[in-house]
Chains A and B, each alone.
Chain A
Amino acid sequence: KNQVEQSPQSLIILEGKNCTLQCNYTVSPFSNLRWYKQDTGRGPVSLTIMTFSENTKSNGRYTATLDADTKQSSLHITASQLSDSASYICVVSALGTNAGKSTFGDGTTLTVKP
Chain B
Amino acid sequence: EPEVTQTPSHQVTQMGQEVILRCVPISNHLYFYWYRQILGQKVEFLVSFYNNEISEKSEIFDDQFSVERPDGSNFTLKIRSTKLEDSAMYFCASSRTGGSYNSPLHFGNGTRLTVT
Contact = CB atoms under 8 A, between A and B. Distances in A.
Nearest to A43: B107
Contacts, number: 74
B15 to A, nearest CB: 24
A45 to B, nearest CB: 7
A46 interface: yes
B3 to A, nearest CB: 9
B110 A101 contact: no
Contacts of A97: 56, 100
Contact of A99 (B43, B91, B105, B108): B105
Contacts of A56: none
Interface of A: 31-32, 34, 41-46, 49, 51, 89, 93, 97-102, 104-107
Interface of B: 4, 31, 33, 41-45, 48, 50, 55-56, 58, 91, 93, 95, 97-101, 103-105, 107-110
